[in-house]
Each structure stands twice: as C-alpha cells, then as structure tokens.
Amino acid sequence: MVTWRRPTSDSAKTSDIDRRLQRAFEPGQLGSLTLRNRLIRTAAFEGMSPGGNVTPALIEHHRRMAAGGVGMTTVAYCSVSSDGRTFEHQLWMRESLRRGLAELTRAVHDHGAAVSLQLGHAGSFASRAVTGSRPIAPARTFNTYSLTWSRAMTRADLDRVREDFAKAARWAREAGFDAIEIHAGHGYLLSQFLSPFTNPRRDGFGGDDPSRMRYPIEVLRGVREAVGDEYPIVVKTNLRDGFRGGLDLDTGVEVAARFAREGATALFLSGGFVSKTPFYMLRGPLPVRQMVAAQRGVLRRAGLRVFGRFFVEEYPMRKLFFLEDARRVRAATTVPLILVGGIGSNDDIVQALEAGFEFVALGRPLIFDPDFPSRLRRGEIRRTGCTYCNECIAEMDRGGVRCTDPGAR
C-alpha cells in the first residue's frame, strides 16, 4: 500500500533545515575542551605578522572572529623553528613572541571563544632568503615553491625539530591557547615525510607507509608528552595530496587513523600539496593578476605572470568538496573530526554534521563576514555572500588577508 504525502513546500524545507541547524550551535567537545558551538575558523594564513611578530592587526582579526560567533578561531602557521618559515611576515615561536600570543588569547577569550595555534615547519618550502639557511627536508630535492635545493635531515635535525614542536606546544599552552593544531598536511615538513613523492629515505623514516609515518608520529608523541594527556591536540592531515605519486586516499585514511591511535584529540581533514596542487585545498579561480600585483620582486612578478596558469592547476569550486573522501576517515576512527571545504550555507553545515562530523571549519565565508556564525544563528542569512573568487589570497602579501568584495562586512 502506498501512502500519499502532501508535497513539501520550500518554506517547510527551510524550517526543517533551520531546526536541524541548531546542532551547529550546541556545545562541542574537543577532549577536555568545550567549545560553545561547532563552527571553527580554519587556519588560513593571515599575513599580519611582519618580522614574525604578533601585531595589533593579527589580534584584531581574531578578536573579530570571536566576536562574530565562532566556537574556536585558529591562528595560522606559527613555525616551530626559525628555519621553518616561508615568508618574513610569518609567526615563529621564540621567547619574545610569548607576550604577544598571550595578549591575543586574552582578546579572543574576552568574547567567549576558544583559540588554537597552528604549529608547523615548512621543510623544503622554507625560504632561504628569510631564514638565512638551506632548507631541510626528508631528502635532498629542488622545490619549485621556494626555488631552493634542500638537504636531507640528519638524525640531529630530526631530534631538534621534534623538540621544537614540543617546546612550541608547551609555550602555546602557557600563553593561553586552548588547543594546538599540528600541521601535517599540505606538503609542509611532516606531510613531506608522509608523501611517497617527497620521502624516498631508506633509514627507517621512509620507503613504505609505516616508515613514512614514523617521524610525524614521533613529533605527535613528543608534543603529547610536553602538554599532558588532557590538552587538546588537533592534527591537520591530508586525505590526498592531489597528484599521481603523492599520498592517495587509502593511505590518507590509514595515516589519519594512526594519528588518532597515537594521541590526537581530533583530526582536521584536508588535502593538497603547496608545491604541486595548491588550489586542490581551496578550489575556484586562480587570481593571477592580483597575485602578480602583490609580489615585490620583479622576477617573481614576471614568472607568476607568464607561468602561473601553467604550473598551478585550477579545480572547480563545489560545496563540501572533501566530504566523500572524509567519510572514509569517519568510518575508520571515533575521534572528533573537523570537516573543511566548500561549507558556506545552512544546508552545507547541516549535511556535514549529519554525516557524522563533529565540527565544520570555515575560511573564506569568515573573511567575507566575521559575523557569519551569529547572523546564521539569528536567521538573518542562510548562506555566505562570498563568491569564492580567491582574491583574498593575494591580499595576504599586501598587509593582511581581507575580502576585496565591496559587499564584504
């Protein structure tokens, strides 16, 4: 017997989504940390740290994120070592930075949000012009991103950088950060160890999948020992590198599950490799003209203008673009998972949460409008006004990330 049902009206669908959206604004747990809601500002580079320092602009950026209603905001890419930097206007952890970091965490806490610090090392991506030293990496390689030959890390290098991660995490906790994020994705140093493309070592730290995981796991264990059993550690890891010969999905799932078993509180699921597939993690158009205008050096401007579209592949923007791959990780582990990628509406958030992901991460929608979470909650809007033009990326090199759309708030 078939039961006839009245067709659902658009207004009824809207009301249903609005009811289901309420879960996004319920508290969420990251281990011992309770976030006021399930929305996280992803660690998108701000470009607001000239000289590697905390500036009033950086503090204000994250204060606005907190005031706008996110559950947690993430300060992007603080290098754990002076030789792990790609840009001069990038944070790097040292004694003199701690006071500024503490000021930033207080500003965020004053608005009721939590704050995390992303910790990483660029490996072969590091700029010799910035660091004054030859980049280190799993193996000697020429990197087209930094235009530099790297040298293979020695055992002493491995030990030093591992201790730098641990010390940086401990100092972040003392500065008031509620969590830290270990950057093990996007082709940075730990990702370089995980990827078959960049790690041909034969000394127990490369070769097969378990050996390639060894050093990132050592780093995670060292950080866990430094901050204690209860402190939240998020690990950002790749689902795929996005090119042939790189980390594939099967191995990406295995890596994620291993991080969870070894002490990660939560996993941030992403993808892409800065030197090979930088827009795999973003999607949408490549703003070559704006990026050329932001470059300081004549050669860099000329090279980007001529070769930018040849070397950087574009990927069409679509909503929830990591969701299907990330479902594989959801089936492989029970730790909280953070989904990123093409999340810009009530419907997107509801779909992610109902697929089993505890948190969603937002980048460009919050750059367009830091009040996006609060306005969603009040029912003022249903989707972001961001067009995903990616022009905000070029602004990172012109004083700090911002939206160029005249309608941005």
Write the burial class of residue 374 (CB in 10 Å: 0-12 exposed, 13-18 middle, 19+ buried): middle
Residues facing 29 on adjacent strands: 34
Please state the separation of Cα 335 from the chain's center in Å: 18
User: Helix 249-261 vs helix 323-330: angle between axes, to the nearest 10 degrees?
Assistant: 40
- Separation CA 213–CA 244 (nearest Å): 19
Cβ–Cβ under 8 Å, residues 368 and 404 = no
The CA–CA distances, whole Å, from 86 to 10, 95, 174, 376 equal: 49, 20, 26, 36
Closest Cα to residue 115, out of 64, 56, 166?
A: 64
Active site residue 315: no
- Separation CA 28–CA 199 (nearest Å): 37
Residues facing 236 on adjacent strands: 183, 268
Q: Which one from 77, 145, 188, 231 is the annotated catalytic residue? A: 188
Residues ≥6 apart with Cβ < 8 Å to 250:
none
φ and ψ at 335, to 5 degrees?
-70, 155
The tokens 């860099």 sit on which residue? Answer: 300
- β-bridge pairing 148-149 and 151-152: unpaired
Amino acid in the structure at residue 266:
A
Question: Which DSSP state fits 308?
Answer: H
- Separation CA 179–CA 268 (nearest Å): 13
- Separation CA 194–CA 187 (nearest Å): 9
How many helices and strands, by DSSP H and E, does the chain display?
Answer: 15, 15
- Separation CA 234–CA 409 (nearest Å): 30
Cβ–Cβ under 8 Å, residues 42 and 361 = yes
Q: Which residues are designated catalytic?
A: 188
